[in-house]
Amino acid sequence: MKIAQITAYPLSFPVSAAGGVRLGIGRTVKRDTVLVKVRTEGGLIGWGESHHGRSPGAVAQLINTTLAQLVKGMDASDVNGVWTRIYKMQLASHGMGAAAAIGMSGIDMALWDIRAKAVGWPLYRLLGGSSRAIPAYAGGISLGYQPPHELVSEARALADRGFRALKLRVGDTWRADIERVQAVRAALGDDIDLLVDANTNYSVADVRRVMPAYDELRVGWLEEPFPSHDARSYCLAARLGSTPLAAGENHYTRFEFQRIVEDRSITILQPDLSKTGGISEGLRIAALGSAWKLPVNPHTSATGLNMAATVHFLASIDNGGYYEADVAKENLFRDELTTPAYEFGADGCVRPLERPGIGVEVNEDFIRSHPVIEGPGYV
């Protein structure tokens, strides 16, 4: 079952003015992703997703050249061996750092898809998990900066669909942030878990101002107030209140998560399987967190591949928390690129797919009709 071919496809679609969301890093104008297709000599096909890294063409080029050449001919079932080779030749020395982690994430995911298809099992079973209900929160690129009454209307509609947890975008002004969270809490009551995400747009002074309100409003976590490398600010902010700090979607590999865990300031771990090194590395990060009794609430990426793989992953670890359900108004990668990624129940939970592998089918006509759009995705 040798790897015969690896092909990465950078994809984009424009987001309409009505579908765009304003948040801490700007307003969305397009969505990007990178799909990875791995074919074995025997004809098995596996699909994975690499995050776009805000430079999808560059990520795809790295996969199609350096990374593909490094692992072509290796045993497709040897996911640890493939991971170790890319680590040694790219991440450990003189490589492309985060881009290499992103690229190997898609390859790793595709190899797990192949492994599960080879034995005819859904991925969660191969990972040692079981089919069970996983609580989901409404996330993705949604619930952004808007007048409180409009935000309440959007939040109420999501609660009516069955979500028992919502993630609001903060990082605007500290007063506006508090006003929005207060409005949603007052409208929906205490039965909804409210989470907030600052998209790295806070200073320590901002956190000092908002944290008393977040504590009083029983916010479940404050996500990414600062950039991932700003460990000192995280340590300072952790002392300013009782609302837990969450981060991880911009941390790469278990080695960066080791720093998070040992600093003891971030207590909600959020690896993205399309960024941090794939499913293989996600399992290692979950094991690290489990040893410290820390929950894993993964960040999800753009397509049904990452979404479905993340549900399988959560069904297979012992410290899984919420699943981030993408509720963006416009996401063709979710709605048209793949078949549905999971089952969502009236209980506000998702369940993994039962088909072999990751369990979604990829529309290759969509790939051909949505080439990469160069330029920034936020303005």
pLDDT per residue as tens digits for the range 301-336: 999 999 999 999 999 999 999 999 999 999 999 999
- Please tell me the distance from the alpha carbon of residue 361 to that of residue 357, in angstroms, as a whole number: 10
Cβ atoms 151, 183 nearer than 8 A: yes
Question: Given the structure tokens 């071919």, which residue do they identify?
Answer: 5
Q: Is the pTM of this model over 0.85?
A: yes
3-state secondary structure of 362: strand
Determine the average pLDDT of the residues in 39-59: 97
Tell me the average pLDDT across 75-95.
Answer: 97
pLDDT level of residue 254 (50, 70, 90 thresholds): very high
Asked whether the CA dihedral 294, 235, 206, 20 is positive or negative, the reply is negative
Alpha helices, H only, the chain: 56-62, 68-71, 79-86, 98-119, 123-126, 148-160, 174-188, 204-216, 231-237, 253-263, 278-291, 304-314, 332-335, 364-369
Q: Which domains, ranges and CATH numbers included, belong to the chain?
A: 3-120+364-369 (3.30.390.10), 124-351 (3.20.20.120)
Q: What angle do CA 179, 181, 184 make, to 5 degrees?
A: 110
pLDDT of residue 315: 98
Averaged pLDDT, 275-289: 98
Q: Residue 18 above 80 pLDDT? A: no
Res. 125 pLDDT band, cuts 50 70 90: very high
φ and ψ at residue 203, rounded to 5 degrees: -105, 170
| pLDDT mean across residues, the chain | 97
Q: Are strands 3-14 and 30-40 parallel, antiparallel or unpaired?
A: antiparallel
What confidence category does residue 25 fall into, taking pLDDT thresholds of 50, 70 and 90? confident
Residues in CB range of 44: below 8 A, 6 or more apart: 1, 76, 114, 117, 118
Q: What is the pLDDT of residues 139-182, one digit of tens each?
A: 999 999 999 999 999 999 999 999 999 999 999 999 999 999 99
Arithmetic mean of pLDDT, 11-20? 89
**Distance from the Cα of residue 65 to its chain's centroid:** 25
Note the pLDDT of residue 182.
98
Q: What angle do CA 27, 219, 194 make, to 5 degrees?
A: 60
